[in-house]
Structures are given as C-alpha cells and as structure tokens.
Copies of this chain bind each other. A is one copy, B any other.
C-alpha cells in the first residue's frame, strides 16, 4: 500500500469513472425481433444475454458496451481481445410495461447479487459477475421502433474514492520491457482462463519481469499480502479516468483487503474511504444510463429504414399470424398454412379476392390460371388490377395478378399461366392445331394440379369447372369451389376420394359402422362428399352461348365476391387445420350448437350465402354415383384413356357424358316424376 501516509483532506480530488455507453447494433435488434417472434413470444421473463467491451480503442472514443447479433448466444464466441460481459434482458410486451417497470428494483436486485458474491468471496472464482449489466427493452415490431434502457450496476462508496496521486499512464510507470512482459503474461492468462480477456487480475513485477495471476490465486500469488497490485482490463480511453469496470472491483478490494492498488491501463493511486470495514450493510448503487439528452430516461431507435425492407416485410407479415397463434389459437399449425401451394383457376373477381385472403394468411405459393385480359370494368371489383392495366387492350389477368402480388409482398412465390381450360361441349376438333392446343392445355393443367396442394375453382362458367374437377379428383387434390349469383353464393369443398391404394375398400359396400353414423345429409365423411356437379342431372355444356349480356358478366352485389372469396380461403384453412384434412366429416348448420371439430370451428361441406337475408346455411350432400364429373365411371375413363376420353367430352354434346354416367336413363325414368332441382341460382357464377 503506497502513500498510505498521505493526508486525506476535503480538498483531495475524488476518483471519477467514465460510464459505459451502450452500443446496441442493428444486428442485436434484428435478432431480438426474431427471438421475440419465434422464442419469447409473450414471455416477459428475464433472459441471459451477452455483450463485450474493448480496451484498445483510440483516445476519444466513448467507453462502449457493445451488444450485437451474437448477444443471445451466451455460450458463443466473443470477438478477439474483447472482454465479455453477461447481462439480463427484460423485454416487455407493451410500451406501458416498459415505462412502468420498477427500475430501482431491477438495479437493487442486481446490486444485491454482486454484493452477495463479494461478501461470500465467490467473486474471486469468477469476477465477471462484477460486470453484469441489465437491459430493459420494448420492441414495437409493427414499426421497428425499439425502446431500451441500459444499466451497468455499480456499488458506491458512501463518500466516493479520494485520489491520493494523479493517475499516471502505464507507460509512465512501466518500462517498455515491463509492458511487453505484462502483455505476454496477460495473454497467457487469457489463454489459460479460456477467455478473450480477463477483466481483473493480480499483478506483480520487478524491473525485469511482470507476472500476472487470476484473482483466485491471491494467497499463493501474494503470500504476505503486504503489497498487492491488481490489473483491470479498462475500456476507458481517457487518460485521467478509469472506466466503469473498476467500480465494483474497488468495492471488492475494499471489502476484502482495505487496500489501494495500481490500475492496469492507467496507473492510479487512491485512498479508500474511512468507513472500513466498508459495509456490513448493502452499499448504495447506481447504473441506469442517461439518454441522448443527458437526462435519466430510456433511449429509442427507429430501425424501420435501415433494416432490409423485404426482410422487414416478411417478418412483419408473419407477426400477426404468430400473435394469433400465441394468444388465441395455440394449436394453429401455421407452417401447414404457409406452405400450402394454391392453384387459382380464374383470376377475376373471385380469384383476386381469394389471392388477397391467402396473402393475409401468409400463404406464399400462389399460381393463377386465366385466359382473359383486364377490361375497364374490372379494377373496381377485381382488387389486383388498376386502371393502367386496362390500357392498350388490357394485360393478361394471370400475369398481371402475379405482378400485383409481388408488389404487395415481394416474398411471395407467384406464377401466372395465360391459358384456356378446355370445356365439355366446346369442340376442339376444328383442326390438328386446335386439337394439339387442347392436348397441351390439358397436360399443362394436369401438371399444375399435380404441383399444388389445393385447387380453387373461381371461373365464370359452369363447364370450365368440369376438367379441373375430374383431374383433381383423380389426383386426390383438395378442391375449393366458389360461385356467385346476384346476391347468393356457394363456397364448397369437393369430396376428396380415398387414396387409390385403398380403392378396394372404397368400392366395397359401405361399412356398417359408417352407415350408422352418417345419413344422407349429416355426418358425411370427406371421401363421400359430393362435388359441384353432383347435384346436377344434366352434363355441363356450353352455358355462355345465347346468354344475354348480363348473364355472362359480373352481375352480383359488389360485396358478394369479397365475402365468398374470403370464405373460400377460411374454409380451406379450417379444413387444413382438421387432423383428417379433406377427409374430415362435414359439419352442417345443425353442428353450430355442438363442440367444433377444430380450434377454428366448423368444417362444412358447403356454405350457401344469402346476402338479402345476411344469412348462411351449411348443407352437406353425398357424392352422386352418376355424377358427370366425379363418378367412378368418369374417373375410370379419364384414367384409362386420358386425353382421348377428354377430347370426346369436349367435342360431344352433353348427351355423351349423360349416356356414360347413366343420367340419360335416369332422365327417362324420372321424367314422369317431374323432379325439379332448383340449383340455377348458383350456376350463374361470375368472375
């Protein structure tokens, strides 16, 4: 202990410490965002994080404690020659909680931890606890605004620390040789300690040599404890002041030895206060960082501009969905939704609204098929198009829809096919060219359906739905179908045939157990549900011929397509969330009072809406064994003959399919009975 005799008077200057500036890099905030979204969610409990500081900065730089991308990887590497500091993150869910968090309590808690390891002596084993920091944050992930308040807890001597000698630099105290020796010794200490920098250490030296040791070696390193010299890895660049890491170390020294010492980067001499043994009670503490205005208060950072906008968009879009799951539907399988590949046949009023709702649900893989061009009447009802898309004859809808999706959300994986779908009763055998084109269209459609998980039928004619119904039924793909009348709509899932390997089971007589549970209209399992054509007793034909204008075009209440489009997607989501997916038993209106089959609610077969009554009903109906689209004989012919069979259907009048399925015979049988099935309101569908 040097200069112990020096008079301690009121005039003696106090030792002042340069506080840490928190340096929170963008990478830290980005990682916090990810952690919040994927791990923490609404969990507000304290989290361990890690920062570091450096003692090699040029003079003038503030003393920084840096937190970056790696802050959450507490066992990860620290940058070379930097000293790690561990901390505790308190991330609140609301700005209000951030504001009202009891900062004094947090600081006291940390200070008590430090004080207790000092008292117990455990600090000698690992002095890094003296550098433990606190970070209080609130992340507004909607706007990428981050609020934070940093705290480096420091125990305080009641009266401060009096300087007994002006600080001198290491170069003034040590010779070049000593410094070189010190560096070598310190480096070796770091290696043997398994760290990039040891924050505090023991030091002894002669003119020829310098030795260092970890704190725990105290008694063996200084056998007589007569004179102790310690070193501190000091990040402060100011010549006259030590950095913050010295503060708690001084308290440790005072408690332990009532000593003075030499610093490492600076060599300082000081006198400890009188209250020795300093404290039997907890010392007072400070540490909350001042804000940019120099006042006590939190800081904030707006990263919305410097983060990669496309990445920002992606994580922002996911946020609502994740929040929905965290808070409201913990069982929601979002990954299944997001990874569903959707094929939209029709990019008109329904197609646009379906695509928009899919985007809202986070679906990333959307493919459009349409052969129409955008006309001037479209943009006000088809929410992916604008006036400019109508100029010069109009862009192709399928391609313009893709462009728009990318403008809405650059992360989408969208494709468009400007192609026609061959239809029954619309002959393709005018020439070899038209036949080749039809064959190519069929093959393209088969390929597209095989590459997607769900097929949406959103066209404006009944007969254009026939071919995709047949192909998707054969490929066992889920079909969601929507069609509009003037103020009525139908949204339905087609029955999903059982896998082909279990066909024998399918064609065998219905199991008695199933028969007992399901009737004609209730408890119908998904594989026995009907398709769009099952209720028809005529085959699809050329329905646009000879229609007057208003039947051909969109004559529906403008809100109808938005409602039907939204319901088509919500129906798909509900089906996908059911463990049996497309095979789920159909819910009906009667099930509204019962326990729903999924956390999202009912899984109906059909939703039939009546806007004039603001009412929906949920009918369910069985597949029809003479259906012109999904009956076994049609699928069988398609699977055996392929395009040859399809070409016959395209080129023939509707009697071909009716003869094939036995509908013709049925007609003859029922003619006398004058069966009337009033489905016409739902068949005048629109884009």
Contact = CB atoms under 8 A, between A and B. Distances in A.
B386 A309 contact: no
A313 B554 CA distance: 15
Interface stretch (A219-227, A354-362, A448-456): A354-362
Given A305-B393, A547-B94, A612-B601, A142 B327 contact: no
A684 to B, nearest CB: 10
B324 A390 contact: no
A567 interface: yes
A555 B356 contact: no
Given A553-B323, A614-B602, A546 B96 contact: yes
Given A328-B555, A567-B563, A616-B614, A487 B550 contact: no
A388 B360 contact: no
Interface in A369-421: 373, 375-377, 379-381, 383, 385-388, 390-394, 407-410
Contacts of A323: 549-550, 553, 555
B356 A390 contact: no
A145 to B, nearest CB: 10
A600 interface: yes
A486 B361 CA distance: 13
18 contacts: A42-B549, A94-B549, A141-B549, A142-B377, A305-B392, A313-B376, A313-B377, A315-B376, A323-B555, A328-B550, A359-B381, A360-B380, A380-B408, A380-B409, A385-B408, A487-B601, A559-B569, A563-B566
A183 interface: no
Contacts of A123: none
Nearest to A392: B305
A255 to B, nearest CB: 42
A386 to B, nearest CB: 5
Most buried by B among A315, A323, A566: A566
A603 to B, nearest CB: 10
Contacts of A35: none
A387 B410 contact: yes
A557 interface: yes
Contacts of A554: 320
B408 A379 contact: yes
Interface residues of A, number: 96
A540 interface: no
A383 B407 contact: no
B320 A555 contact: yes
Interface of A: 42, 93-94, 96-97, 141-144, 302, 304-305, 309-310, 312-313, 315-317, 319-320, 323-324, 326-329, 353, 356-357, 359-362, 373, 375-377, 379-381, 383, 385-388, 390-394, 407-410, 486-487, 545-560, 562-563, 565-567, 569-570, 573, 592, 596, 600-602, 604, 607, 610-616, 618
Contacts of A42: 548-550
Contacts of A320: 377, 381, 553-555
A356 B375 contact: no
A546 B99 CA distance: 10
Given A377-B319, A394-B304, A611 B408 contact: no
B316 A377 contact: yes
A397 B189 CA distance: 60
Contacts of A613: 592, 596, 601-602
Given A559-B567, A607-B614, 7 more contacts: A142-B377, A329-B486, A557-B573, A563-B567, A596-B613, A601-B614, A615-B616
Contact of A357 (B486, B562, B570, B612): B562
B555 A566 contact: no
Given A323-B550, A380-B317, A550-B326, A566 B570 contact: no
A570 to B, nearest CB: 4
B375 A143 contact: yes
Top-6 shortest CB links A-B: A601-B612, A360-B558, A559-B566, A316-B376, A316-B377, A323-B550
A77 to B, nearest CB: 32
Contact of A611 (B381, B392, B601): B601
B559 A360 contact: yes
A567 to B, nearest CB: 7
Nearest to A406: B387
Contact of A390 (B94, B309, B394, B559): B309
Nearest to A562: B566
A112 to B, nearest CB: 29
Given A383-B383, A388-B407, A549-B93, A312 B376 contact: yes
Contacts of A409: 379-380, 387
Contact of A96 (B93, B408, B545, B565): B545
Contact of A570 (B309, B362, B386, B557): B557
A547 B42 CA distance: 12
A302 B373 CA distance: 14
Contacts of A390: 309, 312-313
Nearest to A378: B316
A547 B95 CA distance: 9
